[in-house]
């Protein structure tokens, strides 16, 4: 059976402080083939790098989440550029816009979103996009930055299937996780049905957004088979087909060796 590729996790989060090593060591034997630990701040990016250096199947991304951009500087951006050259750094992310929390002010979020997109272009890395309650501005900035030349994924997708079409036209993958199993996730189920399987990648966003039947608990990569099952039912294909195609998608997204470790 093809292993599962978790394209977006936060094992650097304090939610894993009590059992991080034990949990991470257990993943390969339980069908999780690769994981990308995604930075959301400078400090979490550093932690993600350390984890990637510790575990063979774990990779990382360097980036600053929109809600963490208030204190960013040009020097920080230079540091991020150097990190992109690390042998296991596969992307710039997570970056983008978050108008749900709406802090810092939108102009600051937009400035650093554009700056990190430009960084990714220079360093020839795909981007991991965080976009919440900000669909139009996200699409406008991606268009202005010619993001189809950069490539990447819209992580934890939360908009309509029509909006997904806009991002698909730019060449982006759509990241889907535990929310797909929620009974009230009508919009995401419609999007999952609409988006070709060849453009979907699996993710946990752990420790957040655990799938049913673990909704509300700490999420981890071991719960991804529930998402595989839900997606297989929506697409009318086998779970093995979902595993195989999403693995292939993830290695295309992150420009990695396609072989299974």
Closest CA relative to residue 129, chosen from 116, 119, 121? 116
Residue 102's pLDDT is 86
Residues paired with residue 119 on neighbouring β-strands, in sequence order: none
Write out pLDDT tens, residues 84-133. Answer: 999 999 999 999 999 998 899 999 999 999 999 999 999 999 999 999 99
Q: What is the C-alpha to C-alpha distance for residues 163 and 168, in angstroms, rounded to an integer?
A: 9
- pLDDT over 80 (residue 260): no
Helix (H, G, I), strand (E, B) or coil at 196: coil
CATH number of 4-253: 3.20.20.140
Q: What is the rounded distance in angstroms from the CA atom of residue 136 to the CA atom of residue 160?
A: 12
CA atoms of 231 and 76, how far apart (whole Å) = 39
Provide, rounded to the nearest whole percent, the portion of the chain with pLDDT above 90.
97
In this prediction, residues 60-67 reach a mean pLDDT of 98
pTM of the model: 0.97
Residue ranges of the domains in the chain? 4-253
């Amino acid at each position: 059976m093809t292993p599962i590729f978790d394209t977006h996790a936060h094992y650097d989060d304090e939610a894993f402080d009590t059992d991080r090593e034990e949990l991470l060591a257990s993943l390969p034997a339980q069908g999780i083939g690769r994981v990308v630990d995604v930075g959301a701040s400078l400090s979490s990016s550093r932690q993600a790098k350390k984890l990637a250096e510790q575990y063979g199947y774990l990779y990382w991304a360097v980036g600053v989440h929109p809600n963490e951009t208030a204190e960013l500087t040009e020097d920080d951006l230079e540091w991020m550029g150097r990190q992109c050259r690390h042998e296991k750094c596969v992307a710039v992310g997570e970056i983008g816009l978050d108008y749900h929390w709406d802090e810092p002010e939108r102009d600051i979020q937009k400035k650093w979103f554009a700056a990190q997109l430009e960084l990714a272009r220079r360093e020839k890395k795909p981007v991991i996009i965080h976009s919440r309650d900000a669909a139009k501005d996200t699409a406008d900035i991606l268009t202005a930055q010619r993001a189809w030349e950069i490539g990447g994924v819209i992580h934890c997708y939360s908009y309509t299937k029509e909006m997904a079409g806009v991002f698909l036209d730019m060449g982006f993958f759509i990241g889907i996780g535990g929310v797909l199993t929620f009974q009230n996730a009508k919009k995401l189920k419609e999007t999952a049905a609409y988006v070709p399987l060849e453009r979907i990648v699996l993710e946990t966003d752990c420790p957040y957004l655990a799938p049913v039947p673990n909704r509300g608990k700490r999420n981890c990569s071991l719960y991804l088979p529930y998402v595989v099952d839900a997606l297989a039912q929506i697409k009318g294909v086998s779970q093995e087909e979902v595993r195989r195609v999403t693995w292939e998608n993830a290695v295309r997204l992150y420009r990695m060796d396609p072989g299974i470790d």
